[in-house]
Amino acid sequence: MDDLLARLPGARRALFSAFHIGGCQSCAYRDEDTLATVCTSHEIKVEDAIETLLESHRHDLQMLLEPAEVKKRLEDGDLLLVDTRTREEHEAVAIAGSQLMTQEYQQSLFGTPPDQTIILYDHAGRDVLDHCAWFRGHGLKNTFVLAGGIDAWSRDIDPSLSRYRLEME
């Protein structure tokens, strides 16, 4: 499952939404489990799970912008860059011009939607897809995700930013 989640960042959300897998203690799975094992233990056809995962991934791809596209839009002044990581991560290393997403900042965006495109980012582009779906669900349809997160940005756009690894990854 760990490999699957690395390849399809929205897989956890898709499996929970469609089959109630992975959202609580009674339906949890281990990272080392295979999709086949998880499906068998939840009495789900592997083919159905794969179809659901691929459809979810196609949807998620529509929310992703590659680092080069985000850089171009930043240069054009066409977006707000919002960091969804922790305050500590943001203070340690952040993309220039980004704003840390706090509860207050999120409420201000929801209360007065900006004209610009909103780009959300996290460390590696995994969990931020859920934030993007949340923003879009609250009417901010022009919200996207920095594909690969700040890690891809520091690798592909700005190597002066320190790269790091989170222990839970």
Give the tens place of pLDDT for each residue, 98-137: 999 999 999 999 999 999 999 999 998 878 998 998 899 8
- Rounded mean pLDDT, 13-22: 90
What does the pLDDT read at residue 135? 94
Coil, strand or helix at 120: strand
Give me the residue label for tokens 């203690």: 25
For residue 56, give the nearest of 3, 83, 19, 27 by alpha carbon.
Answer: 19
Contact call for residues 98 and 92 (beta carbons, < 8 A): no
Tell me, which fold does domain 64-156 have in CATH? Oxidized Rhodanese; domain 1 (3.40.250)
Contact call for residues 83 and 94 (beta carbons, < 8 A): yes
Give the tens place of pLDDT for each residue, 2-17: 889 878 878 888 999 8
For 49, 52, 101, the CA distances from 46, given in Å and listed in that order, are 5, 10, 37
Instruction: At 119, list the tokens.
Output: 């780009």
C-alpha span between 126 and 105 (Å, rounded): 21
- Number of alpha helices (DSSP H) and beta strands (DSSP E) in the chain: 9, 5
What does the pLDDT read at residue 80? 95
Give the tens place of pLDDT for each residue, 48-66: 999 999 999 998 889 999 9
Residue range(s) occupied by CATH 3.40.250.10 in the chain:
64-156
